[in-house]
Amino acid sequence: MTTPPKNTSGRGQRELRVRVKTAKGRKLSSTLWLERQLNDPYVVRAKREGYRGRAAYKISELDDKYGFLKPGARVVDLGCAPGGWCQMAVERVNALGQNPKKPIGTVLGVDLQEVEPISGAQIHQLDFLADEADALVKGWLGGKADVVMSDMAAAASGHKGTDHLRIIALVEAALAFAFDVLEEDGTFVAKVLAGGAEIGMQTLLKKHFKKVANVKPGASRSDSSEKFVVAMGFRGLRDGDQGAEPDHDA
234, 221 contact by CB (below 8 A): no
| 223 labeled binding residue | no
Cβ neighbours of 81 (radius 10 Å) = 22
Residue 197, classed as helix, strand or coil, is coil
The helix or strand, by DSSP H or E, that contains position 45, with its residue range, turns out to be: helix 41-49
User: C-alpha angle 217/81/150, rounded to 5°?
Assistant: 45
| 85 labeled binding residue | yes
Total count of residues recorded for the chain: 250
227, 214 contact by CB (below 8 A): yes
Q: What single-letter DSSP state applies at residue 14?
A: P
Distance between CA atoms of 234 and 187, rounded to whole angstroms?
6
Q: Hey, which residues are catalytic here?
A: 191
| 127 labeled binding residue | yes
| Known binding positions for S-adenosyl-L-methionine | 83, 85, 111, 127, 151
| Known binding positions | 83, 85, 111, 127, 151
